[in-house]
Structure 1
């Protein structure tokens, strides 16, 4: 059974790797694997998201993925380092409205059995002395982050070690059980997985309506650098008025600061306005951030489905599958998406969180 995965972001690569582990012959097609939204992503793996309060099905999917991360990483690191850190996530409130949200979050996490601890301002200052004054914090010691810029090369290494192939070309069309490349070459398949983010629905040759439109939502992300890490663990700085940020430190002294939210179509331009917004916001929370070296500003296009939920599974077209539309949760949902897709590709029963997310819901 030959499977072609169109799209070499973290979702496509992880799907190909998990399928290859199950004995599937896999080929990944992407002109620059790991070079789009996943490359820009900070890779935070939080134990909670405000999006989940009234999204029971998405909550189940997220919790399933959270449970899978340790084993997913352990298996991947048989081939290469993954960039995974499970050293905690700290959410901190900088104003009264954020404090109320934080208390609601803590109660919600406790109801789910997620290990979370409320911290005093003094305890937060001990954990993250670089922060300005905070009102309170919630520590999730069992969560953390992964560096997609390490994770994606590891996945490519693992795919190739298992006999898979990565073709660095663009895919333009699907027809007659072949994927047509941008140079005219054709790659045959028994099954194909469309995992090209917000470009997925632009692949030609499929019946109208078979692939839901995936909308791009730009996010600009800032990277700063110091000789030693400024923060000790991944954090979310919570404040009202759109000032909240996530802050992901790397062991080499990099600090990833994100992000903006921009409805600008397929524009991937990084802008002075985006840079200024992120610098202004992070300076509110970390008074000494101005001394860090400016390393990079990048932009990624988050893939948003029509209903804002992931699209994972078989389409109405026989042998054509889809794994896209993860919006802000692509890295977070990588293990469970890869597991579900590997089940579909091997004709086994997927995880019980899978059925609500198939493309068939749009048919």
Structure 2
């Protein structure tokens, strides 16, 4: 069935976190975006744990730190807006994050520290969170970091888009751009016809390279979920070495995640899940008695410098929002805001300059 004959105002390629968040922001400002999605269930949104953790991740001072903290600070109002619109619970929980330390040298934090973040020695830590292994010397406490339940958020984003009249078309694979000799995009070719618009936004995550030679590659992450045998133990997110433990209000604990450069290889593996379980029980031994209730995997869109690609693309009417790697959920509010400002008002922002696709031009040329 050919669907794309009608001219659209704005076409967003990709119906995951970024595509939907940008579409919602544009619609709230009076624009009429259309989202083309290949498979919503493939989006990194479904595989993420939903940590909002610029402090816990130890980001250095600079553009990425500024972008991530700005986005985390937008989260309460962004979630409130979405929940008011949809009547649904997005599962936002500013529960704080603990980063346990087993090596005395890890007590020195080289990255920026917010005023209310602090070190807890073992005697203090037990008051915040009991159950740590004896090898844990203490932990850094980051009260401004938190989490959002990504499965709840997925439902909220889809519902908000529908309520605002965003046309979300599922099951479409965009194959290539059509453009003028001057470089302006005139249409998209897909397996379901030709689509044209005045403005195009690429938000396809780990699949960005299928349309543009951008250095965005899939980084596979395996995850699992645990159910406690009785009352839940964890009250805060635990951010450890190659490990995070994200407790939901229901008591379930999300354990993640591997980081594997294996392309789009599907499935969970014994080695991957065993590594996660070993790390989890080494930090919180009691987790050994929990029941494994779910396992899954997904693909994060990684770039060579682990920074997203945002802003104007290599064509005058093409915009890019991809390559968010581990911080896609965290960066959704600020990405939507900055991209809407740029697209609708041509208003640049100091946050965007460091994330231009042009930083990779020395090694490769991105052409439509």
Q: Which residue in 2 is equivalent to 1:324? A: 322
The residue that corresponds to 1:224 in the other structure is 226
Paired position in structure 1 for 2:45: 38
Residue number in structure 1 paired with 2:166: 164
Equivalents in 2 of 1:318, 1:211: separation in Å?
17
CA distance in 2, matches of 1:153, 1:35: 14
For the residue of structure 1 that corresponds to 2:109, the secondary structure is helix
Equivalent residues of 1:47, 1:114 under 8 A apart = no
Q: Give the Cα separation in 2 of the matches to 1:103 and 1:319.
A: 46
Q: Report matched runs for 1:55-74 at 5 Å.
A: 56-74=62-80
Instruction: Assess, with a 3 A threshold, how the Cα gap between structure 1 residues 123 and 66 changes in structure 2: closer, same or farther.
Output: same
Q: CA deviation at 1:114?
A: 4.3
Q: Deviations over 1:204-259 (max 9, x none)?
A: xxxxxx64131111111121122543311111134xxxxx4111001112111111
Q: Say which of 214, 217, 232 aligns to 1:215.
A: 217
Give distance in 2, aligned partners of 1:296 and 1:102.
34
- Cα distance in 1, alignment partners of residues 177 and 115 from structure 2: 43
Measure the CA separation in 2 of the matches of 1:228 and 1:326: 35
CA distance in 2, matches of 1:75, 1:307: 33
Specify which of 289, 293, 296 is matched with residue 295 of structure 1: 293
Q: Which residue of 1 aligns with 2:148?
A: 146
Aligned: 1:179 with 2:188: yes
Q: Supply the RMSD in Å over aligned alpha carbons.
A: 1.9
- Provide structure 1 residue ranges, at least 5 long, that are not aligned to the other structure: 204-209, 239-243
Q: TM-score, normalised by structure 2?
A: 0.87
Separation in 2, partners of 1:68, 1:342: 15
Q: Is the counterpart of residue 125 in structure 1 residue 126 in structure 2?
A: yes
Query: In the TM superposition, what is the alpha-carbon distance from 1:151 to its structure 2 partner?
Result: 0.9
> 2:268 aligned with 1:270, yes or no?
yes
Counterpart of 2:237 (choices 230, 234, 239) is 234
Aligned equivalent of 2:350, options 345, 349, 352: 352
Q: 1:167: Cα distance to partner? A: 0.6
* Alignment-derived partner of residue 281 in structure 2: 283
TM-score w.r.t. the length of structure 1 is: 0.88
* Structure 1 counterpart of 2:182: none
Q: Provide the aligned length of Structure 1 versus Structure 2.
A: 343
Distance 1:217 1:361 in 2: 21
Secondary structure at 2:234 match in 1? coil
Query: Where in structure 2 are the equivalents of 1:5-44 lying within 5 Å?
Result: 5-44=12-51
Partner of 2:107: 102
Q: In 1, distance between residues paired with 2:247 and 2:306?
A: 28
Equivalent residue in structure 2 for 1:4, among 8, 11, 18: 11
C-alpha separation in 2, matches of 1:347 and 1:358: 18
1:339 aligns with 337
CA contact (8 A) 2:226 2:253 kept: yes
Show the counterpart of 1:241: none
Deviation at 1:51, TM superposition (A): 5.7
Q: Which residue of 1 aligns with 2:248?
A: 250
CA distance in structure 2 between the aligned counterparts of 1:199 and 1:13, rounded to whole angstroms? 16
Cα offsets for 1:22-65 (capped at 9, x unmatched): 11101111132253322111111114255622x61212211221
Change (3 A) 1:102 1:290: same
Query: Which 5+ residue runs of structure 2 have no aligned equivalent?
Result: 1-7, 180-185, 362-368
Partner of 2:199: 191
